[in-house]
Amino acid sequence: MNQQEVAQLLLIVNAEWPDAVMSEEKALVWTWAFEDHNAEDVRSALKAWIKGGKPFAPRPSDLISILADDPADLAETAWAEVQREASRVGFNRKMWNSVTMQSELLQPSFSTPRISEAVETVGWRTICLGDNSKGEIGEQFMWAYRNLKNRDVTRIKRGAYRPMLHTQTLNELAG
């Protein structure tokens, strides 16, 4: 999610829970918390929170817990995305552009950084060129993806997730 999408999300939170304190700092924290998530998925999680009748505004970790249980965020879905990208880009990654009459280097693109990290764990070469006839490469990817997802959810639930700041204080960021 980007800052504009988070701002729209916080407007919904503030409409439902008018006593919830909204600030630039809160928007920054929410942007960091959801940088790896699709805006539509987070809106769906917020909708589920609202439909659940909670008397208080959610924290990012509350919505991430909902997302963690979301079947749309399955390792199998992520593996299907990686396979599509491997078919599109391939290991060689060169594509002939008939307009410019030159070859171009394609880059794999994934919907979340977690998928990219799982791909790095298994290796792009292994994914593209390895023998997956028995499904072993897919299993390795899904194992890595599930563990990365569990790591992220655990960090957020424990409050251990702290995005790196390039400045000393949030006031410097706002200033």
Per-residue model confidence as pLDDT tens digits over 132-156 = 888 899 999 999 998 888 887 777 6
Number of domains in the chain: 2
pLDDT at position 175, please?
Answer: 45
What are the pLDDT digits (tens) for 38-95?
888 888 888 888 887 778 899 898 888 777 765 555 777 888 889 998 988 888 766 6
Does any domain span residue 160? no
Please say which residue of 71, 97, 131 terminates a domain: 71
82 and 146 co-located in one domain: yes
Q: What range defines the domain where residue 87 resides? A: 74-155
103-119 as b/e, with b when 16 or more CB fall inside 10 Å?
Answer: eeeeebeeebebbebbb
Q: Are residues 136 and 78 in the same domain?
A: yes
Q: Which of 51, 71, 91 is the last residue of a domain?
A: 71
- Structural domain includes residue 105: yes
Between 170 and 25, where is the model more confident? Answer: 25
Which residues face 67 on adjacent strands? Answer: none
Q: Look up tokens 């999408």; give the residue.
A: 5
Question: Are 89 and 108 within 8 A, CB to CB?
Answer: yes
Q: Cβ(25)–Cβ(171) under 8 Å? A: no
Q: 137 and 80: one domain?
A: yes
Residues 54, 96: one domain? no
169 vs 45, higher pLDDT: 45
pLDDT band, residue 165 (cuts 50/70/90):
very low
> Does residue 84 share a domain with residue 57?
no
Do 53 and 89 reside in the same domain of the chain? Answer: no
CATH code for the domain in which residue 17 is found? 1.10.8
Angle between helices 3-16 and 39-51 (to 10 degrees): 10
Q: What's the one-letter identity of residue 80?
A: A
Whole-angstrom Cα distance, residue 2 to residue 7?
A: 9
Residue pair 142/79 in contact by the 8 Å Cβ criterion: yes
Residues 53 and 91 in one domain: no
3-state secondary structure of 144: helix
Reported pTM: 0.51
Q: Quick one: what percent of the chain has pLDDT higher than 90?
A: 16
Where a domain ends, among 41, 71, 101? 71
Task: Map tokens 């409050």 to a residue.
Answer: 159
CB atoms within 10 A of CB 16: 14
Q: Is residue 135 part of a domain?
A: yes
The residue-averaged pLDDT of 19-39 equals 86
* Residues 82 and 143 grouped into a single domain: yes
